Homo-oligomer: A and B are copies of this chain.
Amino acid sequence: MKGQILKALRECDGQLSGQTLSDLLGISRVSVWKHIQSLKSAGYVIEASARGYKLISSPDLLLPYEFTELEQEIHYFSEVGSTMDVARELARRGAREGTIVIAESQVHGRGRLSRQWFSPQGGIYFTFILRPGISPVYAPRVNLMASVAVATTIRNLLGLKTELKWPNDVLIEGRKVCGILAEMEAEMDAVNFVNLGIGINANTSIHQLEDKAISLKDVLGRAISRKELLRALLTEIRQQQPLLMEPALLDEWKKLSATLNKYVQIVVPGEVMVGRAIDIDTTGALIIEGRNGSVKKALAGDCIHLREEARNASSGGGQSAVLNTQDGADSS
């Protein structure tokens, strides 16, 4: 209902009387008044005069009633341990596909491989519950889909050039602007659910971030509307979902990839692979051609883009590779 009130106030030019809102939404004038009070206390500035209510400004919060038109179940927290943990419990208890957990900040934000994901206010942190019914072998494609969706949304909405670093980083100017984490529960025949966690450095200040990270605010020199970005991204994810198992997804990923044709070092527990990234396969694995022409497949792991010099060094037969300590910073 709050979503509908906001929509009505935004769509009208001037004021809307309590009676008009009451008629429009089919609720009592007292109900209208209560919802307006509740919106005010959430940070919305709503002017009330004899002629009616007028929306002056909205807080930059990702409140569920800002996304009413998406018709998805939304769980909202101003602060939470981790949206992944909440979503996992919801999914285990049977939450429907499309259920979303949003937080303004996370105390124990999680990244890949049990790493922390720094989650101060100003970023966008959410987990999207998916039930694609696919074999767990194809679950990594959810990561590809998500990174394509984030890159496309940022490009379309903000006009920024985005690239993808395998397996699932979104880069701007070679620096990480978004991290993606997917977790699943499955039997071998099919996944039960895949929870997709997305963390975007939106209005986070550069001083809060690591060297190899960047925020949208840093790049643009101004704060962005986080709710506009999230709304566009959720819409994009829903548009991408039917393409999950289509070849088009891999084509899209390849177009956006900063990793393909680069020399890379992939670090997995107990192994380091070095070579040129030549393709991804249908499960999202990276195909790497070693210096001796051998072809290997990386299913997961940390990917470091090597400097161009490494390529020259390798053609000279040298064993050394010049590592770029700013992980990903050399993608051009």
Residue A301 at the B interface, CB < 8 A?
Answer: yes
CB of A93 to closest CB in B, whole Å: 13
In the complex, the answer to whether A189 meets B137 with C-beta atoms within 8 Å is no
Q: A156: CB under 8 A from chain B? A: no
Distance between Cα atoms of A2 and B136 in the complex (Å): 43
What range describes how many residues of A lie at the interface? 20 to 34
Across the interface, which residues of B come within 8 angstroms of A283, CB to CB?
137
Instruction: Map CB proximity to B onto A177-193 as digits: 1 under 8 Å, 0 otherwise.
Output: 00001111111111000
Docked CA distance A269–B185 (Å): 19
A1 CB, nearest partner CB in chain B, Å: 38
Contact A112 B187 (CB under 8 A): yes
Assuming the contacts A136-B136, A140-B137, asked whether A300 and B186 have C-beta atoms less than 8 A apart, the reply is: no
Which B residues are CB-close (under 8 A) to A182? Answer: 187-188
Complex CA gap A143/B187 in Å reads 11
Residues of the B chain whose Cβ atoms lie less than 8 Å from the Cβ of A113:
187, 189-190
A172: interface (CB < 8 Å): no
The answer to whether A186 touches B183, judged by C-beta atoms less than 8 angstroms apart, is: yes
Known: A136-B139, A137-B283, A300-B190. A183 touches B185 (CB 8 A): yes
Residues of B with C-beta under 8 A to A140: 137, 188
* A43 CB-CB contact with B under 8 Å: no
Write the chain B residue with the least CB distance to A284: B188
Beyond A135-B300, A285-B137, A299-B135, whether A184 also contacts B183 by CB under 8 A is no
B269 near A133: Cβ-Cβ < 8 Å? yes
Which B-chain residue is minimally distant from A180 (CB atoms)? Answer: B188
- Is A167 positioned at the interface, with any CB of B under 8 Å from its CB? yes
Closest to A186 in B: B184
Residues of A155-184 at the interface with B, using a CB-CB cut-off of 8 Å, are: 167-168, 181-184
- Give the complex CA separation of A4 and B184 in angstroms: 42
In the complex, what residue of chain B is closest to A184 when comparing beta carbons?
B186
A137, A139, A184, A299 interface centre (most CB from chain B within 10 Å): A137
Beyond the given pairs A133-B269, A136-B184, A183-B185, 16 more chain A to chain B contacts, judged by CB atoms under 8 angstroms and listed by A's residue number, are: A112-B187, A112-B188, A113-B187, A113-B189, A135-B300, A136-B136, A136-B139, A137-B137, A137-B285, A139-B186, A139-B188, A143-B188, A183-B186, A184-B186, A184-B188, A190-B300
> Could you give 7 example pairs across A and B, Cβ below 8 Å?
A133-B269, A136-B186, A137-B137, A140-B188, A183-B186, A185-B185, A190-B269
On A, residues with C-beta under 8 Å from B are 112-113, 133, 135-140, 143, 167-168, 181-190, 269, 283, 285, 299-301
